[in-house]
Structure 1
Amino acid sequence: MSDSTPDMTGPSGRQDTAARLRNLTTRLLSLASIHSDRLVNEELARADARKWHYAVLATLDEFGPASQAGLSRRTGIYRGDMVTVINELADRGLVERSPNPADRRQNVITVTEQGHRQLLTLDKILSQVQDQTLAPLTTPEREQLARLLTALVDHHDQSM
């Protein structure tokens, strides 16, 4: 075995990972995020969708029609990227774009019936991925994890 090949004799390799790595919370958070992100991307791709599609559809469903700039603010998707996302969704008939009567320079984006149906499909997919990702946790542990992650995200959103 070469020096660059890790010696991981256990099924997960954790036993052979340095304790300071095993116990580094930020590393664990990063590894869990990588795993979750991979599963989400793979499953959404099977439905010909991406995370940003879901974010836009969910935001429109909850808050109603919005400008591209408003969607960008609410979803955290950069304005330049939002144009691409809206184009993809419009090409698939999931959203409609129409001029804002109050400001003709702006478009108002509205989710279509087909978009609502797609959102329900994506909700089911993401629920299954979440169950798979969080399988080792009990319901109270999942709720606690959600509260803790929300606190972290909220704290760091304030500093951005």
Structure 2
Amino acid sequence: MTQKHSVENGCKIEQIVDEQKLLELKRNMANCRERQRTEELNEAFKRLRHAIPSIPSDKMSKIHTLRIATEYIRFLDRAYKLMDLATNNENVFINNSIKYFYNEEQMAVTTFESINQLRTNFNLWRSELSTINMMAEKQKKNLNNSENELFK
């Protein structure tokens, strides 16, 4: 950069140029940090999508991925609690979706097969859950329609 010592509008030209370059550098650094943060976030979602079971009809947006992950954690927690109860009390009813894990003939199944079975069971559980939610919504809608008819 050539240094000019002429004064223009009360500032030296090189100071103006340096301030503009500094602002541009700060903006570029902030953009770089934001790109890196976005890449890390996208990579984390990619790993999460591979870790949770999904069905082909799932549109795996970020919010949908988080919702499925929440459901999966809830499912695993429930399965763990039922397994814990089953080990303490042999007469406890075990939910159909996790009976697989208590069948003595299948205890020797490989981890990969167990994980696939768990994913299948989770997807079945999700289907049952969505059916229950749809039925509840339908009942609620019918109830609202009935109330509206009464007040006409």
Q: TM-score range by the shorter chain?
A: under 0.3
Name which structure has the greater RCO, CA cutoff 8 Å, separation 6+: 1
In proportion to residue count, which structure has more strand?
A: 1
Q: What TM-score, normalized to structure 1?
A: 0.23
Q: What TM-score, normalized to structure 2?
A: 0.24
In proportion to residue count, which structure has more helix?
A: 2
